[in-house]
Amino acid sequence: MSLKDQNVISTSTLEQDSKGPIFKVPEILPRRYAKAFYSCAVEKNLLNEVVPQVVTLKNLLDEESSLRSFIADLALKLEARERIVSEVAAQCELHPVFTNFLKLIVRRGRLSILPEILEAVLYLTDKVQGVVPVKVLTPVKMSEAQQDQLWASLKEMGYQSPRIFEEIDPSLLGGAVVQVGFQLYDTSLKGRINRLKNAFKGEV
């Protein structure tokens, strides 16, 4: 899967065609909390320990609809929120600094934006460490050879530390859609068909 000779197209196409979210700069409020947590982790030399825990909690929120419903429920009392957050922190074996940060979010009434805060922490970490997020949409799971080719292509383009997220989207029919940071490469059959349709519309 080579990207070097592919044209870059607008990320708005991915917003229309993809079932999943695209990479974007976090909003100001989640970014503010994320920056405070990141700075605290750096100061206490805990970054390498807590960032994987951020990923674990984010994945848990992505997978557990009941937990997502809980954090979005503004009717729950503060005590109930703190209790459940403590239980989740214990279940995930989170560092006390991370647990205290979550409790702070609860007390500030910001639990509903926790997913965005976690995303912002990862965004900030990747930005500081020079890691480039790469989202790959394919109609079927990539083979090992295709994964190796993608890695080689990304490194050839100068991306030495990509973080690759794979997602299956059968509607693409063939090919792939690859978003590298904020650049989008669409080699999918669906994308080609859509571009042909738009071209014909322009000629009518």
Q: What is the pLDDT of residues 1-49, one digit of tens each?
A: 555 555 544 444 444 444 444 456 668 899 999 999 999 999 999 999 9
104 and 171 in a single domain? The answer is no
- The tokens describing 84, both together, are 């459940």
Number of domains in the chain: 2
DSSP state of 181: T
Domain span holding position 105:
28-127
**38, 121 in Cβ contact below 8 A?**
yes
pLDDT at 173: 82
Residue 45: phi and psi, rounded to 5, are 60, 45
Q: Looking at residues 107-134, what average pLDDT do you find?
A: 88
Contact 177, 18 (CB under 8 A): yes
Residues 120 and 138 in one domain: no
Q: Do 113 and 161 have their domain in common?
A: no
Higher pLDDT: 52 or 131? It is 52
- Angstrom distance (rounded) from CA 2 to CA 30: 35
Residues 54-113 pLDDT 10s: 999 988 888 888 888 888 787 888 888 899 899 999 999 999 999 999 999 999 989 889
Query: Residues, the chain, total?
Result: 204
User: Does residue 116 sit in the same domain as residue 150?
Assistant: no
Half-sphere exposure (Cβ direction) of 170: Cα atoms closer than 13 Å = 0
- The pLDDT, as a whole number, for residue 100 is 96
Instruction: Please measure the distance between the N-terminal and C-terminal CA atoms of the chain and give it in whole angstroms.
Output: 34
At 19 the pLDDT is: 43
Nearest-angstrom CA–CA distance, 182 and 174: 22
Q: Which of 62, 94, 127 is the endpoint of a domain?
A: 127
Q: Quick one: which of 2, 100, 1 has its CA closest to 53? A: 100
Residue pLDDT, tens place only, 128-142 = 887 887 888 888 988
pLDDT per position as a tens digit, 154-181:
888 877 778 787 888 888 888 888 888 7
Q: How far is CA 96 from CA 9, 48, 58, in A?
A: 44, 15, 17
Q: Report phi then psi at 133, rounded to 5.
A: -75, 135
Claim to verify: residue 89 and residue 177 sit in the same structural domain: no
Question: In this structure, what CATH number is given to the domain that contains residue 77?
Answer: 1.10.520.20
The SS3 call for residue 135 is strand
Q: How far is the C-alpha of 62 from the C-alpha of 165, rounded, in Å?
A: 14
pTM recorded for the entire structure = 0.64
Paired tokens of 146: 């295709």
Token look-up 């890695």 returns 151
- Determine the pLDDT at residue 204: 47
70 and 139 share one domain: no
pLDDT for residue 203:
55
